[in-house]
Structures are given as C-alpha cells and as structure tokens.
C-alpha cells in the first residue's frame, strides 16, 4: 500500500487503476479459483476448522481424490496450507485474508439477494 491510499472502514483501499499486470494476473487467478463451487465448499469447510483430506472429503461430500486435486490447486495459489501430522497432512486456510475474502464474497451475495447497496 502507498501512503496516499484512502482509508474506508478502517482498511486500506487500493484503486483498481494501480494494479500492475502481474498483480492483476495473480488476483484474477485467485478469483478464478474461487469460481468453482467445489473449491468454495472446501474453503468454507476449512474456514470452520482444519481437516485432513479424508475428513475434508466427507465434510464436503466429495471423493477423496477430487478433494486432493482441488487442494493441490488451492495450495499452489496460496489459499490453503498443509502441515504433516504423523502420516497425514492437515489442511487449513493459508491466513485470515482467505477467510475475509470468503466472508466478503458471501456478504456481497447476501446484499445482492436483498438488493442492499452501500451508501457511498
């Protein structure tokens, strides 16, 4: 963030015009990863608590191999991380920013459903 970025609601706001090409591509890849319902269900389950892949597959009603495939992609994009616990790997959201991103997306959809617009 730059010192001249404006503050809104206690958060720094980065004007879209300041996105360089590499940053725009990274943001697009992250948002594209969130554009799949199965990945959103995985991230939401991990938002509640960390899981090994088998428990996560059961929690989201998916095959373990499909969950593993999605986790590889989510991990490569920095949305989840895994830590070895004995013979298994326990997955969790990478950080609080991922949780906030999920929360904001859901909040936005709720506003659309209710036709609520922020007064700016």
Q: How far is CA 111 from CA 9, 11, 59, 60, 106, in A?
A: 17, 20, 27, 25, 9
Q: How far is CA 108 from CA 20, 60, 63, 113, in A?
A: 25, 23, 30, 9
pTM: 0.80
The answer to whether domain 37-114 has CATH 1.10.10.10 is yes
Rg (CA), the chain: 17
**Residue intervals in the chain for CATH 1.10.10.10:** 37-114
Tens-place pLDDT, residues 25-78: 999 999 999 999 999 999 999 999 999 999 999 999 999 999 999 999 999 999
Q: What is the pLDDT of residue 115?
A: 87
Q: What is the pLDDT of residue 45?
A: 98
């Amino acid at each position: 963030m730059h010192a001249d970025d404006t503050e809104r609601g206690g958060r720094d706001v980065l004007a879209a015009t300041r996105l360089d090409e590499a940053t725009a591509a990274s943001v697009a890849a992250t948002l594209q990863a969130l554009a799949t319902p199965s990945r959103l269900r995985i991230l939401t389950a991990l938002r509640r608590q960390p899981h090994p892949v088998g428990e996560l597959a059961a929690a989201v009603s998916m095959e373990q191999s499909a969950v593993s495939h999605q986790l590889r992609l989510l991990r490569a994009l920095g949305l989840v991380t895994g830590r070895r616990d004995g013979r298994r790997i326990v997955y969790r959201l990478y950080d609080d920013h991922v949780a906030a991103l999920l929360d904001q997306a859901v909040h936005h959809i709720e506003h659309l459903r209710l036709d609520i617009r922020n007064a700016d």
